[in-house]
Structure 1
Amino acid sequence: MIVVTAALLLVPAFVLKKLMFPNFDPREPPVLRPRLPVFGHIISLIRESGGFYARL
């Protein structure tokens, strides 16, 4: 029972980690991660209004 519970906790955690932090080729430049990912987009949307969608 303990093994099944541990597997049910570890497998989703492993999959989630792989989705959130994928491995990149070491020859590629480093990934720039935003400090405020959601809020930055919201601020740009408010500041640029319709131009935000045209830029996308």
Structure 2
Amino acid sequence: MNLKRKMRPVMLQQQQQQQMKLSQSILRNNSANMHELIENLNELCYKGFDEL
């Protein structure tokens, strides 16, 4: 029983670290997706002006 109580904070810390890594990964992916979206929008705008 005592060992379980000692393990609980360690397990919680590991879960928090995994969640932090996941959050950072999601933020990086969102940033990359946003950058790609902006590039695509710019390209569409310039192509649109060229055709006018």
Higher-RCO chain (CA-CA 8 Å, sequence separation at least 6) = 1
Give the TM-score, by structure 1 length: 0.37
Higher helix share: 2
Normalised by the length of structure 2, the TM-score is 0.39
